[in-house]
Structure 1
Amino acid sequence: MPVLCKPSVAVPEYVISRHETLELAQRIHHDHGELQLALRLISRTGVRTRHLVQPPEVTLRHPGFEERNLVYAHEAKARIPAVVDEALRHAQLAANEIDTIIYVSCTGFMMPSMTAWMINNLGFRNDTRQLPIAQLGCAGGGAAINRAYDFCLAHPGMHALIVACEFCSLCYQPSDLAVGNLLADGLFGDAVAAAVVRGHGGTGVRLAGTSSRLLPGTEDWIAYSVRSTGFHFRLDPRVPTTMVQLAPHLGEAVAAQGWDVPSLDYCLVHAGGPRILDDLSRLLGISPALLRHSRATLTEYGNIAAASVLDALRRMIDSAPPREGARGLIAGFGPGITAEIALGTWTEDPSLVPSPTMSISTHRADHHDHSTSGDQSHTHPRG
């Protein structure tokens, strides 16, 4: 069965604290009629720090949708290579051994997709399949895992690379004064994450099954309003209550695997906010400790959209990998309202010994030797 290997996650160098966020909100929106409500909501997010691709003072300015999208493309090209390189090392694979790239992002737009740039510049074969996913928002991380699982089942022995690139700060809208948008300004952060799903071998979560659920009649609860200034985030006040409806579906997915929810060894979910974690713990009857890695992502990075579940998995592995055969759940939640659920057991492959010398440069050399597309430049662009 396919194995989801340890992810690589990188956050930008510019940091803004909750205290700084609240001070900015008070200064910029001092005359807002619902400022105190917005401040209370931001204070309750549980977010301590967030990372941004630009300094806060630059983020607060809006140079226009075109300029912001150019920043998105530049920053993605500058930051993705190192994250991909590390994810490949975790999986003990070279770039030319990857058979499909699944790229998820809801904070910028490129056509051709970033997958084409990666194939041209990072040593992937020119017959590598491309699957960009743009409109599942925060559920994109779970969806990417599930689509990688589907691909590896359909093509035994092949490997998939997942890349999640989310620069939520580029969606900041200074003129949008809705309370939900002000809350988003204090909740979302930026991150790039990558992970390999191996078709055979590997150490990580051996995926045993997946499930997708959509709550009817909720498609306008989380949404983008696309305007001349870009993406305007829309959040319905009912969103924090969605776990009441989604928790039974998570339980059904676990039961379909022949498992019992309270006996799960780990639970890694997209932490859109603290209430999601609190409600899941209560509704599923699981210890809050099972959700500690998801909560740590929210606390230290904020809501990093599709990258959230990959970061929670990374944190679990870094803290203490589960025992062989440990059972767990991975779930992403997003617009729709959509849940993408994966079940798996922990496995370790002693035949794969980490190699610190494998790098993108060796991937490129292999790619050059095996490519059928003729002479290509393998110069590493800086963005």
Structure 2
Amino acid sequence: MNDSREQYTLANGRTSINALPKVSLHDHLDGGLRPATILELADSIGFEVPASDAASLGEWFEDSADSGSLVDYLATFDITVGVMQTTEGLTRVAREFVQDLAADGVVYGEVRWAPEQHVAKGLTLDQTVEAVQQGIEQGIDDARGEGKTLRVGQLVTAMRHADRGLEIAELAVRHRERGVVGFDIAGAELGFPAGNQRAAFDYLAQNFLPVTVHAGEADGLDSIRGALFDGRALRLGHGVRLAEDIRIESSDDENTFVSIGGLAQWVKDREIALELSPSSNLQTGAIAAWGDDLQDHPFDLLYQLGFTVTVNTDNRLMSNTSLSRELSLLSDAFGYDLEDFEVFQLNAANASFLPLDERQDLADTIIAGFQSA
């Protein structure tokens, strides 16, 4: 089972990717559990899981998630969400989540999760947010004890197929001074446009809480358009299918011409960050229109055309990955080097939901870290 402590290096074999300062923008709490923790939490509450040891359970998650379908991929969360229904479970998972970020060299992370999915055993929405924040703070203290410094903020998420968007938006605003930095909608994308949650997005805009929206993963350009204009999204969760608005044509003289459609041009010109997650995008079939190998991912196309691309894990457990591993895979696929990695991290820092001055401080931290690499 891959974890954040596995070491990755650039092609020269000398530069440690793990040691580089990194920013994680798209990372689901219920997709980042340790298999051993799932087993222990499941045992404590009598919850049935599909394997009896950590290694086998980790393999089950990766195999089950590698389905080519977002719906099948999301089904694996029945297990992780099932063991995250108590204060103790939520706090422990959040604490270990932050520990694993720190071990992977992350200096700023935003963790997204849906409180409405964690109230089955009687917790209130506010209690779930408080439990996760307690775990985050414990994890930060643990990292500090190991000489590492990082910050982590919560992205409170509403499930787009449910009818609780405004309630969850109000929850996010209530906790904005106690760990919450932004809002998201997630879940089944196809058939559940962002416009269905318009009341929530209006409320968030009125209260100046920033928004990212899952779009362009299991649905195409209309979903992205809705995220931008109904959701007022400042970032696109995945957004990989924005490449459908880009045409590449070859002429008779073997020249290549690229045509960018109006929607893609808007995203590019406004520097709206794409929260791309290479391994996850393969697993869910998000890049099926381009191929079934990482080299087919439109990541490089978007990067070369000047879009604000960022690298993310999405769900570390389901993809058996870490941020360092995702960067390593991209380097293998497209030949990226230290300079490219720095661009990706600065893109993420600038797109984070921190205040402007703090975003600049984060960028300075990244620049200093890469200079010393």
Instruction: Provide TM-score, normalisation by structure 2.
Output: 0.34
**TM-score scaled by length of structure 1:** 0.33
* Structure showing greater relative contact order (alpha-carbon pairs closer than 8 Å, 6 or more residues apart): 1
Instruction: Give 1 or 2: higher strand fraction.
Output: 1
